[in-house]
């Protein structure tokens, strides 16, 4: 089976400046990322702020141009950004953002906003579009009488449903969700997570789910990629990755999630802060915070290599001995 989305060696460099007149320094936000999403599969991308996960999400859709590497969608290379071919392709891949109020136009009713992608991509006539809007609203759990409302008249969870309905309007095969539930309250978050689960189940729709919330990612994703400073440091099926993380960073991330009933002591608490992407440490970028770091970590960048049949990790000490030593 061919992958729906295949990214190879993606690179995105921003030019950062130290101070107003400082020297421009390149910041490698995404630094050689390769990944594949199969049809119907959900890939989770986790990492802390500044790890490049949102930039990567935009690059996968071609919204943010890649400076290196390629993205293939449905087996063919992604057309250049802002060309007619790329615009046509955008009907097949859509994005859901974190802040629904910012993603919606506050002067348009929600029905008009859900209809917009249909108009842009010239799908159906007026009657078919109206019917489709009704269908979509029902699918995401909005009431028909809410069609004429404006975004500010809805609650946060309802707004996120509008954003999801709009993203689904053109019947995309790929949905990239960037922190779609992070701004929502616990009870509402569960409603939206369940909605996304239903969407996964009902069609062969692939999803890239970007989030810092490991609990939500584990609940939704088939496979998970962990990012640290612009690189994937571990990837695997989500059940395995959470049960048996191989990279020390993944272990620390999982350990740092506060869970009711799990005591504070005995957790791996990472020292230090995520380093500045403009000043990437030599060798393994994680070594200054890593308890297992040795000389080889300070000097040599670890390659992503297979640790288990379906799991890969970029760590010099990811073999069985180091993992058991840390555990």
Partner 1 sequence: MANLVEIRDLRVAFDGVPVLHGVDLEVAPGEALGLVGESGCGKSVTWLAALGLLPSKASVTGRVQLGETDLTGAPQSALETVRGGRIAMIFQDPSSALNPVLKIGRQLCEALRLHRGLTGAAAKTEALRLMDLVGIPDARGRFRLYPHEFSGGQCQRLMIAMALAGEPDLLIADEPTTALDATIQAQILDLLARLRAEMNMATVFISHDLGAVAQVCERVCVMYAGRIVEQGSVGQLFEHPRHPYTRGLFDALPRLFGPRTALVPIPGTVPDPRNLPGGCAFQPRCAHAQPFCQSALPDLLPQRDGRKLACAYPLPERGQGGERQAAREGVFQ
**Beta carbon nearer to partner 1, 260 or 309:** 260
Task: Quote the CA–CA distance of 172 and 123 in Å, as a whole number.
Answer: 13
* Paired strand residues for 114: none
Q: If you search the block for the tokens 């996304």, which residue do you land on?
A: 196
Task: Quote the CA–CA distance of 248 and 254 in Å, as a whole number.
Answer: 10
**Beta carbon nearer to partner 1, 167 or 216:** 216
**Beta carbon nearer to partner 1, 22 or 261:** 261
**Beta carbon nearer to partner 1, 89 or 216:** 216
Residue 139, interface with partner 1 (CB under 8 A)? no
Distance in Å, CB of 153 to partner 1, minimum = 11
Residues 2-31 that bind partner 1 (CB under 8 A): none
**DSSP reduced 3-state for 42:** strand
For 219, residues 6+ apart whose C-beta sits below 8 A from its C-beta are: 193, 197
Distance in Å, CB of 196 to partner 1, minimum = 11
Give the pairing of strands 76-77 and 24-37. Answer: unpaired
Distance in Å, CB of 268 to partner 1, minimum = 9
Residues 163-192 that bind partner 1 (CB under 8 A): 185-191
Distance in Å, CB of 289 to partner 1, minimum = 8
**Beta carbon nearer to partner 1, 6 or 41:** 41
10 Å Cβ neighbour count for 215? 13
Among 263, 266, 279, 324, binds partner 1 (CB under 8 A): 263
Task: Quote the CA–CA distance of 327 and 322 in Å, as a whole number.
Answer: 9
**Beta carbon nearer to partner 1, 208 or 252:** 252
Distance in Å, CB of 208 to partner 1, minimum = 18
Residue 258, interface with partner 1 (CB under 8 A)? yes
Q: Is the dihedral of CA 213, 215, 219, 224 positive or negative?
A: positive
Max intra-chain CA distance, the chain: 68
- Radius of gyration from C-alpha coordinates of the chain: 21
Q: Is the dihedral of CA 82, 109, 199, 45 positive or negative?
A: positive
Residue 194, interface with partner 1 (CB under 8 A)? yes
Residue 81, Cα to own-chain centre: how many angstroms?
A: 20
Residues 24-63 that bind partner 1 (CB under 8 A): 48-49
Distance in Å, CB of 190 to partner 1, minimum = 4
Distance in Å, CB of 145 to partner 1, minimum = 16
Binding mask 211-230 for partner 1 (x = CB under 8 A): -x-xxx-xx-----------
Structure tokens at 161: 């449903």
Distance in Å, CB of 248 to partner 1, minimum = 12
Q: Are 119 and 130 in contact (CB under 8 A)?
A: no
Q: Which residues would be at the binding site for partner 1 (CB under 8 A)?
A: 48-49, 155, 157-158, 185-191, 193-194, 197, 212, 214-216, 218-219, 239, 242-243, 252-264, 267, 269-271, 273-274
């Amino acid at each position: 089976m061919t992958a729906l989305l295949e990214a190879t060696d993606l690179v995105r460099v921003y030019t950062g400046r130290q101070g107003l007149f400082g020297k421009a320094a390149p910041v490698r936000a995404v630094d050689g990322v390769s990944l594949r999403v199969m049809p119907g599969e959900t890939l989770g991308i986790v990492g802390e702020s500044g790890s490049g996960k949102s930039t990567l999400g935009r690059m996968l859709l071609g919204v943010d141009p890649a400076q290196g590497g390629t993205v293939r969608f449905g087996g063919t290379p992604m057309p250049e950004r802002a060309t007619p071919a790329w615009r046509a392709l955008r009907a097949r891949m859509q994005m859901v953002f974190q802040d629904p109020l910012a993603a919606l136009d506050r002067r348009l009713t929600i029905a008009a906003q859900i209809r917009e992608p249909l108009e842009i991509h010239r799908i159906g006539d007026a009657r078919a579009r109206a019917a489709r809007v009704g269908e979509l609203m029902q699918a995401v759990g909005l009431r028909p009488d809410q069609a004429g409302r404006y975004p500010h008249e809805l609650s946060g969870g309802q707004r996120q449903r509008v954003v999801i309905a709009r993203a689904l309007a053109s019947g995309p095969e790929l949905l990239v969700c960037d922190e779609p539930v992070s701004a929502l309250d616990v009870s509402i978050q569960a409603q939206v997570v369940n909605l996304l689960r239903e969407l996964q189940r009902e069609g062969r729709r692939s999803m890239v789910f970007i989030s810092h919330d490991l609990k939500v990612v584990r609940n939704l994703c088939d496979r998970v990629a962990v990012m640290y400073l612009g690189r994937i440091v571990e990837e695997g099926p989500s059940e395995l990755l959470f049960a048996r993380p191989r990279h020390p960073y993944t272990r620390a991330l999982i350990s740092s999630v506060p869970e009711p009933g799990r005591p504070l002591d005995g957790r791996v608490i990472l020292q230090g802060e995520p380093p500045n992407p403009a000043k990437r440490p030599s060798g393994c970028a994680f070594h200054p915070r890593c308890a297992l770091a040795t000389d080889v970590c300070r000097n040599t960048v670890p390659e992503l290599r297979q640790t288990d049949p379906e799991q890969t990790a970029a760590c010099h000490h990811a073999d069985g001995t180091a993992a058991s030593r840390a555990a």
